[in-house]
Chain A
Amino acid sequence: MASGVAVSIDIRAKRFDGATGLLFEGLRLDVAEGEVLALVGPSGVGKSTLLRMIAGIDTTFDGVISVFGKPASEGGPPGFVFQDPRLLPWLSAVANIRAVSPATTMDEAVALLSEMGLSGFEAALPGSLSGGMQRRVALARALAVEPRLLLLDEPFVSIDRKLVRELHDVISRIAEKRRPTMILVSHDPEDAARLADRVILLQGRPARIDSETYLDTPRDVRDPAKILDIVAQLGPKPVSGG
């Protein structure tokens, strides 16, 4: 593995689960340490599957994915934020954090919730929290494992724009302060344009890298007009083939 590479992806073939045809074939991609990479593309192109493969959840493919030099399923846990908050409904917010990260002390878990703006909600059960609060607990949980790699699978889906902006700010702060390598999957190019250092558009079947855009401007001074330009350039096209 080259120095400074956090994630190295070399997928020779990945079949659809329970269907014929290839989802990925000959897909190669490196993610640099500390980089925020956004994967965008139409629904069904395989973005979330790729994220699950990087997390070591899905190992049914031909090829190699290395995370910090180790096979994806063998290294330490990444921070993973799923499309749905996926909080254990029988555990409090703080217990949800400690459930996946037993090394995290109670004080550390409380501090993480505070960082997410959830002071006073430590003992709250997920069912009593709003959708946005649940997502912030999920983010706090992902940070509890002190991840060098943070994977975000459509974290803004099905929530209103105001809340999306709030979460953009939270993720920007994480990127600046903690500097983990981050891979963000989104179907919405605007999320990518606001948060990422590099945006990769996946298209087709098998999915291939259709375009690669580097965003050099710091996140906090990005020009909304320029973001809209980038969004227009990245606009997903229908999946072709199969």
Chain B
Amino acid sequence: MGQQRGDRSFWIEAASLPLLLLVWQACAMMVAHRLFPAPIAVFQELWFLATERYLFADLGETLRRAAIAFVAAMTIGVAIGGALGRFRALDRLFASWILIGLNIPAIVVAIACYIWLGLSEFALILAVTINKTPLVAVTMREGVRALDTGFSELARAYRVSFWRRLRLIVVPQLMPFVLTAARTGLSLIWKIVLVFEVLGSDGGVGFRIGVYFQNFDITGILAYTLSFMAVVIAFEYLVMRPLEQRILGWRQV
């Protein structure tokens, strides 16, 4: 009975994307306009861009920028969030800075960085990092605040050394928060890197989508979007979920 239900759930989930393609195809056939291409046309364009044009180079460039910004934002955000969670006075002092950081429009940060630093790679990555860091810091601050005082007592009673305490007691408690910050951060970074590339860069998925936009080439835009989504989904299934399972598998016991 349970097995049958599991099989059915699997097939329902597996049918989800093909169903979306069917709906898209049906809509394209009804609209029948060059600005609403059918999925087949988009996949053909995708193949052409991959084999004859710059799709992989653009994807590589965007992913490289996203990766650098992600690592920088996670590193800085974890450090700031840890300090804010640990020291109440620091949190009081900088809470409003974090609030501003969380709410300042991403586009404003990007434009300011481009104006101050020029249309450079550094400015783009810095802008993405500035946008992402407050979100990581807030998540980590909550993680540090949620540390179990019982485990701290345990460590004190048994005179566990600082580094051992950090490695075996503190970090494992923070990992769910780190993974949450990573997941939400990635979804944010994927999006804003593209926007900032449209604003000012000479390559990458965002830059190419900007060019296609100027030419009203919706097929190219959708082809690039699909390829980027494929990368994001692959990253989710091949990296994030196995990582989560490995690190947080104990929570299922």
Give complex CA distance A145, B155 in Å.
Answer: 13
**B1: Cβ under 8 A from any A Cβ:** no
Q: B153 is contacted by which of A57, A77, A90 (Cβ under 8 Å)?
A: A57
**Chain B residues in 8 Å Cβ range of A24:** none
Give complex CA distance A76, B250 in Å.
Answer: 31
How near does chain B come to A188, taking the closest CB pair, in angstroms? 22
Q: A102-B164, A125-B253 are in contact. Are A88 and B172 (CB under 8 A)?
A: yes
Interface residues of B in 149-179 (CB under 8 A from A): 150-151, 153-160, 164, 168-169, 172
**Chain A residues in 8 Å Cβ range of B155:** 100
**Chain B residues in 8 Å Cβ range of A145:** 158
**Chain A residues in 8 Å Cβ range of B251:** 89
How near does chain A come to B114, taking the closest CB pair, in angstroms? 44
Q: A90-B172, A125-B253, A128-B253 are in contact. Are A82 and B150 (CB under 8 A)?
A: yes
Residue in chain A with minimal CB distance to B169: A88
How near does chain B come to A143, taking the closest CB pair, in angstroms? 12
Q: Are B250 and A77 in contact (CB under 8 A)?
A: no
Q: A88-B168, A88-B169 are in contact. Are A82 and B156 (CB under 8 A)?
A: no
Give complex CA distance A55, B66 in Å.
Answer: 49
Give complex CA distance A98, B151 in Å.
Answer: 15
Q: Are A57 and B168 in contact (CB under 8 A)?
A: no
Give complex CA distance A102, B161 in Å.
Answer: 10
Q: Are A100 and B158 in contact (CB under 8 A)?
A: yes
**Chain A residues in 8 Å Cβ range of B150:** 82, 84, 86
> Could you list 25 A-B pairs, sorted by A, with CB under 8 Å?
A55-B156, A55-B157, A56-B156, A57-B156, A76-B159, A77-B158, A77-B159, A78-B157, A80-B157, A82-B153, A84-B150, A86-B150, A86-B151, A88-B168, A89-B250, A89-B251, A89-B253, A99-B168, A99-B169, A100-B160, A102-B164, A125-B250, A127-B250, A127-B253, A128-B253
Q: Are B168 and A91 in contact (CB under 8 A)?
A: yes
**A52: Cβ under 8 A from any B Cβ:** yes
Give complex CA distance A218, B249 in Å.
Answer: 47
**A101: Cβ under 8 A from any B Cβ:** yes
Q: A100-B160, A125-B253 are in contact. Are A82 and B154 (CB under 8 A)?
A: yes
**Chain B residues in 8 Å Cβ range of A80:** 154, 157-158
**Chain A residues in 8 Å Cβ range of B154:** 80, 82, 86, 100
Q: Are A77 and B168 in contact (CB under 8 A)?
A: no
Interface of A is mostly: loop
Give complex CA distance A100, B157 in Å.
Answer: 9
How near does chain B come to A150, taking the closest CB pair, in angstroms? 12
Give complex CA distance A57, B156 in Å.
Answer: 6
Residue in chain A with minimal CB distance to B248: A90
Q: A56 is contacted by which of B151, B157, B169, B172 (Cβ under 8 Å)?
A: B157
Give complex CA distance A127, B250 in Å.
Answer: 8
How near does chain A come to B251, taking the closest CB pair, in angstroms? 8
Q: A77-B159, A125-B253, A128-B253 are in contact. Are A52 and B153 (CB under 8 A)?
A: yes
Interface residues of A in 166-198 (CB under 8 A from B): none
How near does chain A come to B71, taking the closest CB pair, in angstroms? 25
- For the complex with contacts A88-B169, A100-B160, A151-B157, 13 further pairs of A-B residues with Cβ separation under 8 Å are A55-B156, A57-B157, A76-B159, A82-B153, A82-B154, A84-B150, A86-B153, A88-B168, A88-B172, A90-B250, A99-B168, A99-B169, A100-B154
How near does chain B come to A25, taking the closest CB pair, in angstroms? 24
Q: A82-B150, A82-B154, A91-B168 are in contact. Are A99 and B253 (CB under 8 A)?
A: no
Residue in chain A with minimal CB distance to B172: A90
How near does chain A come to B46, taking the closest CB pair, in angstroms? 43
**Chain A residues in 8 Å Cβ range of B153:** 52, 57, 82, 86
Give complex CA distance A4, B73 in Å.
Answer: 58
How near does chain A come to B54, taking the closest CB pair, in angstroms? 45
Residue in chain A with minimal CB distance to B252: A127
Residue in chain B with minimal CB distance to A129: B253
**Chain A residues in 8 Å Cβ range of B160:** 99-100
Residue in chain A with minimal CB distance to B150: A86
